[in-house]
C-alpha cells in the first residue's frame, strides 16, 4: 500500500497513528484549519498531529484522489524525523519528494514553464521556497515545479535510494547542503546551477514548447523575415549583374529567347554559383 511503499522509499518507519479527514471543498478546508491552509491547497498534512486533511471536490475523481494521497503520505511519513529535523528540511525539498513519489507536479495545471522562465531569467531561486510557497498560486506553482525538478534530477542521476540516504544524514544532524556534499560531492547551489542550465537548454525549451517560447520564436521570425528578404534580393541583383557580364557576347540572342527561358537560365546560373560558394 501507499504507506508501506513510502516508508520503504524514504527509509523511515511506519507512523504509529494517522487520521484522514475528508472535507468537501477548499472553503471547508480553510474553515477547518484556519490560515494554515492556503487558498490553492487541495490537501494539508499536519505532521505533528499525524493528520491528513483532504478536500475531495478539489482532488477530483478516484485517480486524482490516489495521487493526492500518495503525495500527502510522504509528508506523514517524514513526520517520523521529528519536528526539529523536519523544520530543517527546505519546503521545496519536502514537496519535491512528495511529488516524485506521487508521480505528479502539484499545481501543474497552472502552466508554469520552468524552461521558459529559466531562459528569460525570470525563474525564482530555490531559496525563495526555503520556508514555504506563499499565498499566490502562480508563485506556489513555480516552487512546486522547481522542487520536483530538483528532486527528480537527483533521483535520476544518483538513484532511487538517494532520498533515503539524504534523509538519513539529515536525521544524523546534517543540513541538506552537507548531506548533498557528502553523497554527491556537490552543494545545493551547484546542483541548482546545473538544473537551471538544463532547463534553459534548447532541448528543454523545445520539449516544453510553452506559449511564451512559441511567441518568442514567431517574434524573431517576424523581425528577421524582412531582413532576410532584403539580403536575398540584394544577392540576386549582384548575381544578375555578374550573369549579364558573363553572357554579354551573346546579348544579341537575348531578344530571341523567351522571358521565361531567361528567368530559368538565370535561376540555374545562380544556383550553380551558390553551390560553388561564390
Structural domain spans, the chain: 1-88, 106-209, 215-275
Spatial distance between the Cα atoms of 153 and 143, rounded to a whole number of angstroms: 15
pLDDT tier at 105, thresholds 50, 70, 90: confident
Q: What is the pLDDT of residues 112-146, one digit of tens each?
A: 788 888 888 888 999 999 998 888 888 888 999 99
End-to-end CA distance of the chain: give it in Å, rounded: 71
Rounded mean pLDDT, 164-179? 95
35 vs 243, residue with greater confidence: 35
The tens digit of pLDDT for each residue in 40-68 reads 888 888 887 889 988 887 666 778 888 88
Please give the residue that has the higher pLDDT: either 223 or 240: 223
The three three-digit cell numbers of residue 224, written as one number: 528577421
Q: Which of 257 and 149 is assigned the larger pLDDT? A: 149
Residue 274: per-residue pLDDT: 64
* pLDDT, mean of residues 177-182: 96
How far is Cα 207 from Cα 186, in angstroms, rounded to an integer? 27
Residue 101's alpha-carbon distances to 7, 10, 155, in angstroms, are 11, 10, 11
pLDDT tens, position by position, 242-256? 656 665 555 555 545
Q: What is the pTM of this model?
A: 0.72
* CA pair distance 60, 272, nearest whole angstrom: 64
Q: How far apart are CA 101 and CA 8, in angstroms?
A: 11
What is the average pLDDT across 98-119?
A: 82
Q: Confirm if 212 and 200 have CB atoms less than 8 A apart.
A: no
Q: Which of 10-24, 72-86, 201-215, 249-263 has the lowest mean pLDDT?
A: 249-263
Q: What digits encode the pLDDT tens for the residues 185-236?
A: 999 999 999 999 988 888 877 776 655 555 666 676 677 767 767 677 776 6
Residue 173 has pLDDT above 60, yes or no: yes
- Exposed, middle or buried: residue 72 (CB in 10 Å: 0-12, 13-18, 19+)? buried
User: Sheet containing 51-55: which strands, arranged edge to edge?
Assistant: 19-23, 51-55, 43-46
Number of residues that this document lists for the chain: 278
Average pLDDT taken over every residue of the chain: 81
pLDDT score for 185 = 96
pLDDT at 11: 95
* Distance of alpha carbon 111 from alpha carbon 88, whole angstroms: 30
Amino acid at each position: 500500500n501507499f504507506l508501506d511503499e513510502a516508508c520503504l522509499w524514504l527509509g523511515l518507519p511506519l507512523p504509529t497513528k494517522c487520521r484522514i479527514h475528508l472535507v468537501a471543498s477548499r472553503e471547508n478546508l480553510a474553515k477547518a484549519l484556519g490560515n494554515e491552509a492556503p487558498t490553492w491547497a487541495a490537501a494539508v498534512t499536519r505532521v505533528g498531529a499525524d493528520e491528513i486533511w483532504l478536500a475531495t471536490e478539489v482532488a477530483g475523481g478516484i485517480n486524482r484522489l490516489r495521487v493526492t494521497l500518495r503525495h500527502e503520505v510522504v509528508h506523514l511519513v517524514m513526520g517520523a524525523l521529528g519536528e526539529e529535523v523536519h523544520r530543517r528540511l527546505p519546503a521545496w525539498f519536502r514537496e519535491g519528494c512528495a511529488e516524485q513519489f506521487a508521480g505528479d507536479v502539484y499545481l501543474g495545471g497552472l502552466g508554469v514553464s520552468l524552461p521558459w522562465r529559466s531562459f528569460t531569467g525570470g525563474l525564482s531561486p530555490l531559496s525563495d521556497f526555503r520556508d514555504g510557497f506563499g499565498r499566490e498560486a502562480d508563485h506556489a506553482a513555480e516552487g512546486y515545479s522547481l522542487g520536483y525538478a530538483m528532486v527528480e534530477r537527483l533521483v535520476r542521476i544518483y538513484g532511487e535510494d538517494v532520498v533515503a540516504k539524504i534523509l538519513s544524514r539529515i536525521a544524523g544532524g546534517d543540513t541538506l547542503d552537507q548531506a548533498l556534499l557528502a553523497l554527491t560531492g556537490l552543494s545545493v547551489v551547484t546542483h541548482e546551477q546545473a538544473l537551471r542550465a538544463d532547463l534553459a537548454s534548447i532541448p528543454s525549451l523545445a520539449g516544453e514548447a510553452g506559449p511564451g517560447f512559441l511567441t518568442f520564436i514567431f517574434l524573431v521570425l517576424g523581425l528577421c523575415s524582412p531582413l532576410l528578404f532584403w539580403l536575398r534580393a540584394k544577392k540576386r541583383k549582384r548575381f544578375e549583374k555578374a550573369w549579364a557580364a558573363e553572357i554579354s557576347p551573346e546579348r544579341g540572342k537575348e531578344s530571341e529567347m523567351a522571358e521565361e527561358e531567361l528567368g530559368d537560365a538565370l535561376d540555374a546560373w545562380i544556383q550553380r554559383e551558390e553551390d560553388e560558394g561564390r
